[in-house]
Structure 1
Amino acid sequence: MAVQPEGTPCWLDATFGDLEGAKSFYGDVLGWTFGESSAEYGNYTQAYVDGKAVAAVVPPMPGQEGHSRWCLYFASPDAAATAAKIRESGGEVLMEPMRVGDFGTMALAHEPTDAVFGVWQGGTHEGFEATGVPGAYCWAEVFTREPERTDAFFTAVFPYRAKQLQDESVDFRVFELGEKAVLGRMRMTDDFPPEVPPYVNVYFAVADCDDAVAKAVGLGAVLRFGPMTSPFGRFAALSDPQGANFSVIDVATTEGEVPEHREV
């Protein structure tokens, strides 16, 4: 697989206090199977769909126990240069670029409104081996209360072109690389409790949204929104039993016209 263009969402992982519980949950809901845990890399464990790597789960480092969350990584040809851009653009580097064996170089950061994300400079591990198929990553959106700061940040750090949704009822923006939409940005309204921080919401593709929701809730997940059908698919937002937010979407079940976007 070719190295992804700069700014492409390229990998996903999450820290779970109960690693076996997480493997059981996502195995049932998304059909994941798991590789061997790598003790050398903190028991980092890759998840697979039909033998292709789609994500990873890992136990927390000592002293880092707490709320579980998914972290989306963006491709970079030079993690150190991207870290410098993050600082210059009002973000904060939480973990300096760190070489991970021959696999690549990673960094962790948050944008100016505190949504956390990762940077990945691929080595032997270039990122997702499958996307958009049931069980794999499909899409992501940054949820923020200060969209102007978030928008300026992401277009400064990555070579994105921004398009605004032409809909007065919702403040939503899409970031594109070339002609391909790679990331969304949603303004958090008063519907979000004030204690919910800005975050990156990731979507996993599923064959049947309602079936996936029923399985997840039956295993202890909390349904946050939906299911509802949109022009992009039938989707729902959930929190897993350990508190990590994620969404599921069946892209084959659509309703309505795709709304217009204007370049900004």
Structure 2
Amino acid sequence: MAENRASVYAEGVPCWVDAQLRDVEAGKRFYGELFGWTFEDEWYGSFAEALKDGEPVAALVRKVDGRLPTVWTVYFATPDALALARRIRSAGGQVVSAPVPAGDLGVTALVTDPEGAVFALWQPDEHAGFGKRHEPGTFAWAELYARDTEAANAFYGDLFQEALFGPDAEPDFGRAPVSDRFAAEMPPHFLVHFAVEDVPAALEDVTRLGGRVQVPPFETSYGTVAVVTDDQGASFALLRR
């Protein structure tokens, strides 16, 4: 397990991502070839931690209920998950799963913003989050696709003021209207972005491995992005800065 990096991730900074999959072994094959990840099984095989050059970068989690969505989830760092969950509820969000210990790794909770976009909280103990990011094959950005970006800016701006606007801000987190890239009926959601050196080449790899292109490459203020799904239907984005 990586050393504690709690001081690296201020409250409101994306510090971890995981994918809820029906078939973790298939996920290992897909992401292992796409991003060059290796894996260590944790908690008797209930999830696999993905490593890039020996450093933790993500996890693949076996779904306990087949009715749950196949999705990537972004975790925001916090020193106190219980207090943050209370603030989220007070601001109009919902607590889907109250803060609970994840063994000796940390404390986690699943929450939503007022529009229903799902995200997670992570209060670190032995596992502080990413050991590597902003490099090819690792987390690079999280974009919230919201129906009301002004309301989203107000909610997250109040919730994560220092991380988004403080003197040492490193948000790795933006907001955009759902209608910018998706059909009007798409619900508000977070889209996890992974860095790649070459978006067209990565798209070829995605399709070769059984995934598909959901949104072809487009330009943003933070780089060139394409939205894809893996071979089990989990959506994520490829980003070339």
Normalising by the residue count of structure 2, what TM-score does the alignment of the two structures yield?
A: 0.91
Contact 1:13 1:56 in 2 (8 A): yes
Shift of 1:117: 0.2
Query: Is structure 2 residue 19 aligned with structure 1 residue 17?
Result: no
3-state SS of the aligned residue for 1:189? helix
Matches within 5 A, 1:39-188: 39=44, 43-61=46-64, 63-160=65-162, 175-182=164-171, 183-188=173-178
Q: Which amino acid aligns with 2:132?
A: A
Return closer, same or farther for 1:229/1:155 CA change in 2, 3 Å cut-off: closer
Contact 2:228 2:237 in 1 (8 A): yes
Equivalence for 1:239: 229
| In structure 2, C-alpha distance between the alignment counterparts of 1:189 and 1:124, rounded to whole Å | 40
Contact 1:154 1:160 in 2 (8 A): no
3-state SS of the aligned residue for 1:24? helix
Equivalence for 1:218: 208
3-state SS of the aligned residue for 2:144? strand
Return closer, same or farther for 1:224/1:160 CA change in 2, 3 Å cut-off: farther
Shift of 1:179: 4.4
Contact 1:145 1:187 in 2 (8 A): yes
3-state SS of the aligned residue for 1:121? strand
Return closer, same or farther for 1:33/1:176 CA change in 2, 3 Å cut-off: farther
Return closer, same or farther for 1:158/1:230 CA change in 2, 3 Å cut-off: closer
Contact 2:22 2:66 in 1 (8 A): no
CA-to-partner distance for each residue in 1:73-131, whole Å, 9 max, x for gaps?
Answer: 00101000000000000000000000112211000001011110000000010000000
Identical-pair percentage: 37
Q: Which amino acid aligns with 1:85?
A: R
Shift of 1:72: 0.4
Tell me which of 194, 199, 204 is aligned to 2:194.
204
Shift of 1:231: 5.5
Q: Which amino acid aligns with 2:95?
A: V
The Cα RMSD (Å) is: 1.8
3-state SS of the aligned residue for 1:149? helix
Contact 1:67 1:242 in 2 (8 A): no
Normalising by the residue count of structure 1, what TM-score does the alignment of the two structures yield?
A: 0.83
CA-to-partner distance for each residue in 1:181-202, whole Å, 9 max, x for gaps?
Answer: 4110001127522442111011
| In structure 1, C-alpha distance between the alignment counterparts of 2:158 and 2:218, rounded to whole Å | 34
Q: Which amino acid aligns with 1:9?
A: P
Contact 1:17 1:66 in 2 (8 A): no
Return closer, same or farther for 1:119/1:230 CA change in 2, 3 Å cut-off: closer
Aligned residues: 235
Larger Rg: 1
Deviating more after overlay: 184-193 vs 197-206: 184-193
Q: Which has the higher contact order (CA 8 A, sep 6+)?
A: 2
